[in-house]
């Protein structure tokens, strides 16, 4: 049994398999060709934080594959009244085939997975957002070909997205150029030795984006950090991805943002809506990569 709790749970062969399957499943979806290998399979989605894309992409995705889903908002379950996560894991994974969890601490997800009878997927934690980076990397590959040897520039907070890009870099062979405001940088203890050859920290966003093939950013205040919003608005001044910043990247550079976006904060409206932005495809691809992921976790490397 395999879980997807962080990007590094996959090896490169698995990621490339998922990309191939994503292409196939997306093509079928676009041509209205039904493909339902997960009939009678049930996905439970547990949310402790808000979501639009994650919920819709998983719910639509499992349905298209022939299965069904149950949404559990944590506060409305017995978890909200103190039932241990280990007990919940042992109970619900006797009834469903797959579980996706969006929560605060990665450790909660890990505790659930340790007591689960079925594969568990990380739908975002404070630490990682692996489904999103799967979609982002796929979106790059779909538009520009392999990420091998490419430069991905990250401008903004050292958050769950950045730490997941860091895990993807050594696997997919790209370099990450990072610019974060003072006080919001990478935690070098967390980064450890992993991926060290694959990223470089720059002191300004302009330096980080120079020549990059992909420029990407995210909200300045992630879910769970709302109390810091005002301080962050101050600290992140100068970290808005605008046209001048995009002009420093490679001429055919793409712009990505996992969404939701705050126009005028981390990204200028004309970049988000501009010709280099692929954010809507990126969001759509969440559904296609997660269909490939669910198929893989439940059925293995099928090739039909």
Q: Which residues are catalytic?
A: 102, 129, 132, 218, 258, 286
Peptide bond into 180 cis (omega under 30): no
* Residue placing its CB nearer to ligand NVA in the complex, 99 or 258: 258
- CB 228, min distance to ligand NVA, A: 12
H or E element: which one contains 121? strand 120-122
When asked if residue 265 is in the footprint of ligand NVA (CB under 6 A), the reply is no
When asked if residue 161 is in the footprint of ligand NVA (CB under 6 A), the reply is yes
DSSP for 45-100, please give it: EEESS--SHHHHHHHHHHHHTT-EEEEEEGGGSGGGGT--HHHHHHHHTTT-SEEE
218 binds, among ligand CP, ligand NVA, none (CB under 5 to 8 A by kind): ligand NVA
* Residue placing its CB nearer to ligand NVA in the complex, 25 or 162: 162
When asked if residue 54 is in the footprint of ligand CP (CB under 6 A), the reply is yes
Pairing of strands 199-201, 120-122: unpaired
* Residue placing its CB nearer to ligand NVA in the complex, 78 or 229: 229
**Distance between start and end Cα atoms, the chain:** 21
When asked if residue 276 is in the footprint of ligand CP (CB under 6 A), the reply is no
Q: Tell the burial category of 228 from Cβ atoms under 10 Å away from its Cβ (0-12, 13-18, 19+).
A: middle
When asked if residue 186 is in the footprint of ligand NVA (CB under 6 A), the reply is no
When asked if residue 116 is in the footprint of ligand NVA (CB under 6 A), the reply is no
Which segments of the chain does DSSP mark as H helices, in order? 12-30, 53-64, 85-92, 106-114, 130-144, 160-172, 188-191, 205-209, 229-235, 243-248, 269-272, 279-299
- CB 27, min distance to ligand NVA, A: 27
Instruction: Residue count of the chain, please give it.
Output: 304
When asked if residue 215 is in the footprint of ligand NVA (CB under 6 A), the reply is no
Binding mask 216-245 for ligand NVA (x = CB under 6 A): --xx--xx----------------------
Residues of this chain that interact with ligand NVA (CB under 6 A) are 124, 159-161, 218-219, 222-223, 258
Binding site for ligand CP (CB under 6 A): 51-54, 124, 132, 258-259
């Amino acid at each position: 049994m395999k879980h997807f709790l962080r990007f590094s749970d996959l090896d490169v062969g698995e990621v490339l398999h998922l990309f191939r399957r994503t292409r196939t499943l997306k093509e079928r979806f676009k041509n209205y060709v039904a493909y339902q290998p997960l009939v009678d399979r049930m996905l439970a989605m547990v949310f402790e934080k808000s979501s639009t894309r994650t919920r819709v992409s998983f719910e639509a995705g499992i349905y298209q594959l022939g299965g069904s889903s149950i949404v559990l908002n944590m506060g409305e379950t017995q978890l909200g009244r103190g039932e241990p996560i280990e007990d919940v894991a042992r109970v619900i994974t006797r009834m469903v085939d797959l579980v996706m969890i969006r929560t605060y601490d990665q450790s909660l997800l890990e505790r659930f997975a340790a007591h689960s009878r079925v594969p568990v997927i990380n739908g975002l934690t404070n630490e990682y957002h692996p489904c999103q980076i799967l979609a982002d990397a796929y979106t790059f590959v779909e538009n520009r070909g392999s990420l091998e040897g490419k430069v991905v520039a990250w401008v903004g907070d050292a958050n769950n997205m950045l730490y997941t890009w860091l895990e993807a870099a050594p696997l997919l062979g790209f370099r990450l150029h990072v610019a974060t405001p003072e006080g919001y940088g990478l935690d070098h203890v967390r980064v450890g030795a992993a991926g060290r050859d694959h990223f470089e920290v720059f002191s300004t966003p302009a330096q980080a984006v120079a020549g990059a093939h992909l420029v990407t950013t995210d909200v300045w205040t992630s879910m769970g950090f709302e109390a810091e919003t005002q301080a962050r608005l101050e600290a992140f001044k100068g970290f808005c991805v605008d046209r001048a910043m995009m002009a420093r990247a490679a001429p055919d550079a793409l712009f990505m943002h996992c969404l939701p976006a705050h126009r005028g904060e981390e990204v200028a409206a004309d970049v988000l809506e501009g010709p280099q932005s692929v954010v809507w495809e990126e969001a759509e691809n969440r559904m296609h990569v997660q269909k490939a992921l669910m198929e893989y976790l439940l059925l293995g490397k099928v090739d039909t």
